[in-house]
Each structure stands twice: as structure tokens, then as C-alpha cells.
Amino acid sequence: MKKALFILALAFSMQLSAQDKNNWITDYKVALKLSKTQEMPILAFVTDNQKTEASEILNQVFFSSEAYKNIASQVVLLKVDISDSQSYNTRLGIHYLNKRSTHGLALVNQYNDKIGAPLTDFNAENIKSFILFINSKL
């Protein structure tokens, strides 16, 4: 019984950290250079690294989906940590999401301009629409 519980807990924790399995870049200047040289858009993930309802929904519906796995290989992954409110990343997060938000996803071009509307309201329908939008731009 303990073994089964351990395996279940391990599987659950692996699912929650699905976005960490990919190589997220944390320096936006490096991401912009890669975007330009590889001719791929940037998927910016703005987060404060806190476990919230929004982060749980993102993990369950977006990061653990097959659609995300397909998208991840076609974009430059940029993780914008806004946990320090005095950092430049906080301003960058506001630029990408159009508001001060602790979690969000935005598609960005090689010139640091947003492509379309960012995802800041997390429910299954909005996430599905955002995935369709990203796929239409790839």
C-alpha cells in the first residue's frame, strides 16, 4: 500500500512540474537572439513561482497536454520570474500580459512585440483557444 501511495505521489508531482521538463530560458535577451536566429516565436511564461489555483490549472490543462509538447519544440521557451517586484522581469511581465498578473502566457516575436492577446484568464476553454491561436501562428 505504501509503495502504491508513493508511486501515485511521485506521478502527481511529476505532472505538476511539467513545465520544468523543457529547457526554459530565463534571460529575455538570450530568448530574443534565439528567436531571431532560429526564426521561431517566443512563448513567454510569466510566473511568480507560487503554487496557486491558476498555476494548477495551467499545469493540468496546458503544460501536461500533448498540444503543449508539440508547441514546445516550435517556440523559444522564456520563463519570466516576477517574484522580485523590483526586477526588470516585473516590467517585462506587465508588457507581455498587459497587466500586473502573477501568471500568464504570451506569444512574442523576435522584436519583443506581443503576437495577439496573452492568456491571463485560466479555464479549459481559454487555454484551448490559446493553443489554437499559437498553432495558427506557427
Confidence of residue 2 (pLDDT cuts 50, 70, 90): low
Residue with the larger pLDDT of the pair 104 and 1: 104
Write down the pTM of the prediction.
0.81
- Residue 136 has what pLDDT? 95
Q: Are 78 and 45 in contact (CB under 8 A)?
A: yes
pLDDT, one tens digit per residue, over 12-64 is 444 444 444 568 999 999 999 999 999 999 999 999 888 888 889 998 999 99
User: Terminus-to-terminus CA distance in the chain, angstroms?
Assistant: 46
pLDDT, one tens digit per residue, over 78-112 is 999 998 888 898 999 999 998 887 789 999 999 99
Nearest to 59 by CA among 133, 132, 124: 124
- In the chain, what are the domains? 2-137 (3.40.30.10)
pLDDT, one tens digit per residue, over 108-129 is 999 999 999 999 998 989 999 9
